[in-house]
Amino acid sequence: MGNDALSADTSTALADVDYPAIQQSPEFQTLRRTHRNFVFPVLAACLVWYFAYVLLASYAHDFMSTPVFGSVNVAMVLGLAQVVTTFAVTTWYVRYANKRLDPLATEIREGIEADAAAASDTEGANR
Protein backbone atom coordinates (compact mmCIF):
# COMPACT_ATOMS: atom_id res chain seq x y z
CA MET A 1 0.00 0.00 0.00
CA GLY A 2 1.13 3.57 -0.60
CA ASN A 3 1.15 4.60 3.06
CA ASP A 4 3.16 1.55 4.16
CA ALA A 5 6.13 2.71 2.11
CA LEU A 6 6.37 6.10 3.82
CA SER A 7 9.39 6.71 6.00
CA ALA A 8 9.00 8.03 9.53
CA ASP A 9 10.29 11.44 8.39
CA THR A 10 7.70 11.61 5.61
CA SER A 11 4.94 10.53 8.00
CA THR A 12 5.94 13.34 10.35
CA ALA A 13 5.91 15.80 7.45
CA LEU A 14 2.40 14.61 6.49
CA ALA A 15 1.19 15.87 9.86
CA ASP A 16 2.18 19.36 8.72
CA VAL A 17 0.19 19.21 5.45
CA ASP A 18 -2.25 22.07 4.90
CA TYR A 19 -5.33 19.93 4.27
CA PRO A 20 -7.78 22.86 3.98
CA ALA A 21 -5.63 24.23 1.14
CA ILE A 22 -5.70 20.82 -0.55
CA GLN A 23 -9.49 20.74 -0.23
CA GLN A 24 -9.63 24.09 -2.02
CA SER A 25 -7.28 22.97 -4.81
CA PRO A 26 -8.69 22.55 -8.33
CA GLU A 27 -7.58 18.89 -8.37
CA PHE A 28 -9.53 18.08 -5.21
CA GLN A 29 -12.56 20.02 -6.43
CA THR A 30 -12.47 17.97 -9.64
CA LEU A 31 -12.35 14.77 -7.57
CA ARG A 32 -15.33 15.89 -5.48
CA ARG A 33 -17.33 16.95 -8.53
CA THR A 34 -16.58 13.67 -10.32
CA HIS A 35 -17.65 11.70 -7.25
CA ARG A 36 -20.84 13.71 -6.73
CA ASN A 37 -21.79 13.57 -10.41
CA PHE A 38 -22.01 9.80 -10.06
CA VAL A 39 -23.27 9.34 -6.50
CA PHE A 40 -26.15 11.83 -6.31
CA PRO A 41 -28.03 10.75 -9.46
CA VAL A 42 -27.57 7.05 -8.67
CA LEU A 43 -28.66 7.62 -5.07
CA ALA A 44 -31.77 9.47 -6.25
CA ALA A 45 -32.66 6.68 -8.69
CA CYS A 46 -32.15 4.00 -6.02
CA LEU A 47 -34.28 5.88 -3.51
CA VAL A 48 -37.08 6.30 -6.04
CA TRP A 49 -36.86 2.57 -6.85
CA TYR A 50 -36.88 1.63 -3.15
CA PHE A 51 -39.79 3.91 -2.21
CA ALA A 52 -41.75 2.76 -5.26
CA TYR A 53 -41.38 -0.80 -4.01
CA VAL A 54 -42.43 0.15 -0.46
CA LEU A 55 -45.42 2.15 -1.69
CA LEU A 56 -46.51 -0.61 -4.02
CA ALA A 57 -46.22 -3.14 -1.18
CA SER A 58 -48.24 -0.87 1.09
CA TYR A 59 -50.98 0.34 -1.25
CA ALA A 60 -51.14 -1.93 -4.30
CA HIS A 61 -51.84 -5.29 -2.68
CA ASP A 62 -53.74 -6.65 -5.67
CA PHE A 63 -50.93 -5.78 -8.07
CA MET A 64 -48.18 -7.09 -5.81
CA SER A 65 -50.03 -10.37 -5.22
CA THR A 66 -50.41 -11.04 -8.95
CA PRO A 67 -48.91 -14.47 -9.68
CA VAL A 68 -45.98 -14.46 -12.10
CA PHE A 69 -45.37 -18.22 -12.17
CA GLY A 70 -46.28 -20.89 -9.67
CA SER A 71 -46.49 -19.36 -6.20
CA VAL A 72 -44.08 -16.54 -7.11
CA ASN A 73 -45.83 -13.18 -7.26
CA VAL A 74 -44.87 -9.68 -8.42
CA ALA A 75 -43.84 -8.66 -4.88
CA MET A 76 -41.30 -11.47 -4.70
CA VAL A 77 -39.87 -10.63 -8.11
CA LEU A 78 -39.58 -6.92 -7.27
CA GLY A 79 -38.08 -7.73 -3.85
CA LEU A 80 -35.43 -9.88 -5.50
CA ALA A 81 -34.86 -7.09 -8.00
CA GLN A 82 -34.08 -4.79 -5.05
CA VAL A 83 -31.27 -7.11 -3.96
CA VAL A 84 -29.96 -7.46 -7.50
CA THR A 85 -30.04 -3.67 -7.87
CA THR A 86 -27.90 -3.29 -4.75
CA PHE A 87 -25.21 -5.58 -6.14
CA ALA A 88 -25.40 -4.00 -9.59
CA VAL A 89 -25.01 -0.47 -8.23
CA THR A 90 -22.11 -1.56 -6.03
CA THR A 91 -20.34 -3.17 -8.99
CA TRP A 92 -21.02 -0.12 -11.13
CA TYR A 93 -19.62 2.23 -8.47
CA VAL A 94 -16.46 0.14 -7.97
CA ARG A 95 -15.76 0.18 -11.70
CA TYR A 96 -16.47 3.92 -11.87
CA ALA A 97 -14.23 4.62 -8.89
CA ASN A 98 -11.40 2.50 -10.27
CA LYS A 99 -11.58 4.23 -13.64
CA ARG A 100 -12.41 7.84 -12.72
CA LEU A 101 -11.88 8.53 -9.01
CA ASP A 102 -8.80 6.50 -8.08
CA PRO A 103 -6.50 8.09 -10.68
CA LEU A 104 -7.48 11.57 -9.45
CA ALA A 105 -7.04 10.57 -5.80
CA THR A 106 -3.67 8.95 -6.56
CA GLU A 107 -2.48 12.10 -8.28
CA ILE A 108 -3.48 14.21 -5.27
CA ARG A 109 -1.93 11.77 -2.79
CA GLU A 110 1.33 11.52 -4.72
CA GLY A 111 1.57 15.31 -4.83
CA ILE A 112 1.05 15.51 -1.05
CA GLU A 113 3.61 12.76 -0.42
CA ALA A 114 6.15 14.37 -2.76
CA ASP A 115 5.74 17.71 -0.99
CA ALA A 116 6.04 16.00 2.40
CA ALA A 117 9.15 14.10 1.29
CA ALA A 118 10.71 17.31 -0.01
CA ALA A 119 9.90 19.05 3.28
CA SER A 120 11.43 16.21 5.32
CA ASP A 121 14.54 16.22 3.07
CA THR A 122 14.91 19.98 3.55
CA GLU A 123 14.35 19.60 7.29
CA GLY A 124 16.91 16.77 7.43
CA ALA A 125 19.49 18.84 5.53
CA ASN A 126 19.03 21.74 7.97
CA ARG A 127 19.89 19.55 10.98
Give the range among 5-14, 29-38, 62-71, 78-87 with minimum mean pLDDT: 5-14
| pLDDT at residue 11 in the model | 58
Domain range annotation of the chain: 21-115
**Verdict on whether the full-model pTM lies above 0.85:** no
Could you tell me how many residues make up the chain? 127
- Please give the average per-residue pLDDT across 13-22, as a whole number: 80
89: pLDDT strictly greater than 80:
yes
Question: What rounded mean pLDDT belongs to the chain?
Answer: 88
**Helices assigned H by DSSP within the chain:** 8-14, 19-24, 26-59, 61-64, 74-96, 102-125
Residue with more model confidence, 76 or 117: 76
Cβ neighbours around 120 below 10 Å, total: 20
Residue with more model confidence, 12 or 112: 112
Closest residue by Cα to residue 12 from 126, 122, 119, 89: 119
Residues 6+ positions from 108 with CB-CB distance below 8 Å: 22, 25, 27, 28, 31
| pLDDT at residue 116 in the model | 81
- How far is residue 74's CA from residue 68's CA, in Å, rounded to a whole number? 6
In this prediction, residue 15 has a pLDDT band, given cuts at 50, 70 and 90, of confident
Long-range contacts of 44-47 (CB under 8 A, 24+ apart): 46/85, 46/89
9: pLDDT strictly greater than 60:
no
- How far is residue 127's CA from residue 123's CA, in Å, rounded to a whole number? 7
- Please give the average per-residue pLDDT across 43-49, as a whole number: 97
55: pLDDT strictly greater than 60:
yes
